[in-house]
Structure 1
């Protein structure tokens, strides 16, 4: 019981911090870069830290989510219940969010190495906006699972 509580808490906290950081990049950092308020070096450092944090969050989410799915669901429940479908949707969204953060960082850093800021920020903006939307969908999915709206 204590292990389940720790895993759930760590899972939710990590997910919220991960999604929050992606939304912050899409809503605050990249718009600041587009208007010329950020230089290339700090923006590159920030992008690197975001992607390392995203990778760490992915590992934590995989381990804690795997524990929760393994202890709370059978294979049949995952495939044949509304809660199972929400869990599988969360897994898919998690993979998409991970990929979008990696792609967005790659697009951003390409131009930053040439000491350009606005063009790389513009190139990465759409990807990070999509990542933010996926992140919000992840939190909505988590809320549905927590609220027991979708009972077995």
Structure 2
């Protein structure tokens, strides 16, 4: 029981920090870069840290989520109940969030290596905004699971 609680706390905390960092980049960092308020070097550093954090967070949430799914659900409950569908939706959203952060970082990094800021930030901001929306949907999904709205 202590292990399950620790895994759940680690899962939720990591997921919330991951989503929060993506929302912050999409809502504050990239708009400042588009406006010319950031130079290439700090933005490149932030971008690199975000992608490393995103990769680490995706591994942690995948492993902890896998543990929770494996100990709480069967194939039948995953595919045949509302809670199971929320878990499967979370898995899909997790994959999309990780992919969008990678794509957005790729668009940003290419230009930053050439010491350009505004153009790459403009190219990446839409992808990061989409990632932020997906992240918020992940948190809504988690809230629905935590609230018990979807009955077994």
Shift of 1:82: 0.3
Give the structure 1 partner of residue 64 of structure 2. Answer: 64
Moved over 6 A (4+): none
Which structure 1 segments of 5+ residues have no match? Answer: none
Residue 117 (structure 1) shift: 0.3
Query: Could you list the per-position Cα deviations for residues 64-90 of structure 1 after superposition, in whole angstroms to 9, with x for gaps in the alignment?
Result: 000000000001000000000000000
Two-structure CA RMSD over aligned residues (Å): 0.4
Matched residue, 1:142: 142
1:149 deviates by 0.2
What is the match of residue 124 of structure 2? 124
Distance 2:103 2:41 in 1: 19
* Partner Cα distance (1:94, 1:30) in 2: 22
Give the number of equivalent residue pairs: 152
Separation (CA, whole Å) in 2 of partners of 1:145 and 1:3:
19
Q: Which residue of 1 aligns with 2:100?
A: 100
- The 5-angstrom pairing of residues 23-34 of structure 1 reads 23-34=23-34
CA distance in 1, matches of 2:125, 2:62: 27
SS in 2 for 1:145: helix
Displacement, 1:45?
0.7
TM-score with structure 2 setting the length: 0.99
Distance in structure 1 (CA, Å) of the matches to 2:73 and 2:82: 12
Tell me which residue corresponds to 2:45.
Answer: 45
- Unaligned ranges ≥5, structure 2: none
